[in-house]
Amino acid sequence: MQNASHVRSLIRQGRWSSHTSGLADEHVQGNVVILPESLAVDFLRFCQRNPKPCPLLAVSEPGDRRVPMLGSDIDICSDLPRYRVWRHGELIDEPTDITNLWREDLVSFVIGCSFSFEQALLAAGLPLRHVEQGRNVAMYQTNISTEAAGLFGGPLVVSMRPMKAADAIRAVQVTSRFPSVHGAPVHIGDPSQIGIHDLSRPDYGDAVDVMPDELPVFWACGVTPQAAIQQARPAFCITHAPGAMLITDLLNHQLASF
């Protein structure tokens, strides 16, 4: 088991600027969204209304670079390998440190990510095709609407993992224990029922093979809030770069509800 604080310190020193998959993998990793306080109440309400795609792990005090509930030494300005800076919905930079962009009105949101429930699935002996094939998970926009709040809304984005029926049933049980990292699936089987017409053409990530004896199993995905932000086009926003998560001191096991 790698030490989360040690890995964060390497990232903070600029010695790691790539994705965090597999790093300190017993620890919870989080999607990060940083918004001005004027938009924080709408974004909080959006997350409250859409807990499956947007399970909030922590919300910082305005202007405070720390997130003490997830790690006593966290500095949100330096502890992610790479950030994305957005102005009016346009991506303008991908820095490895945002200290020079920090403002007293910024609020940081940390949202649970599927790395935690994937670790639980693997620990339960359930094979994950995209891991076997060394690819990113396949993600799709659905025709399911999120519950909007203020500027924030748009479609639910899901990730898909193909499984045999018995494994799909076990996966429902295993992931139900982890509501703070997307929880149980939102759909199993026929993709067209949720507006997905070609599994071989994901909207994000990589396609994976689905065997004839397998069901596609769909989970709410942390790309949903990112898509909501891109649609909302806030004047200023910072997010993590894809796959470059915040590594927290929480252990995946600590998130289990049962």
> Which residues are at the interface with its own copies (CB under 8 A)?
37, 40-41, 44-45, 48-49, 56, 58-59, 61, 69, 147, 149, 173, 176-177, 179, 183-184, 257-258
Q: What is the 3-state secondary structure (H, E, C) of the chain?
A: CCCHHHHHHHHHCCCCCCCCCCCCCCEEEEEEEEEEHHHHHHHHHHHHHCCCCCCEEEECCCCCCCCCCCCCCCCCCCCCCCEEEEECCEEEECCCCCHHHCCCCEEEEEEECHHHHHHHHHHCCCCCHHHHCCCCCEEEEEEEECCCECCECCEEEEEEEEECHHHHHHHHHHHHCCHHHCCCCCEECCHHHHCCCCCCCCCECCCCCCCCCCEEEEEECCHHHHHHHHHHCCCCEEEECCCCCEEEEEEHHHHCCC
Give the pair of three-digit tokens for residue 166.
């018995």
Q: How far is the CB of 204 from its own copies (least distance, A)?
A: 27
Measured from the CB atom, is 53 or 202 closer to its own copies? 53
Q: How far is the CB of 184 from its own copies (least distance, A)?
A: 8
Measured from the CB atom, is 184 or 232 closer to its own copies? 184
Q: How far is the CB of 173 from its own copies (least distance, A)?
A: 8
Measured from the CB atom, is 183 or 216 closer to its own copies? 183
Give the pair of three-digit tokens for residue 90.
């346009």
CA distance 59 to 20: 21
Q: How far is the CB of 108 from its own copies (least distance, A)?
A: 11
Measured from the CB atom, is 154 or 183 closer to its own copies? 183
Q: How far is the CB of 47 from its own copies (least distance, A)?
A: 8
Which amino acid is it at 37? E
Q: How far is the CB of 137 from its own copies (least distance, A)?
A: 23
Q: How far is the CB of 236 from its own copies (least distance, A)?
A: 17
CA distance 181 to 20: 16
Measured from the CB atom, is 19 or 49 closer to its own copies? 49
Measured from the CB atom, is 47 or 194 closer to its own copies? 47
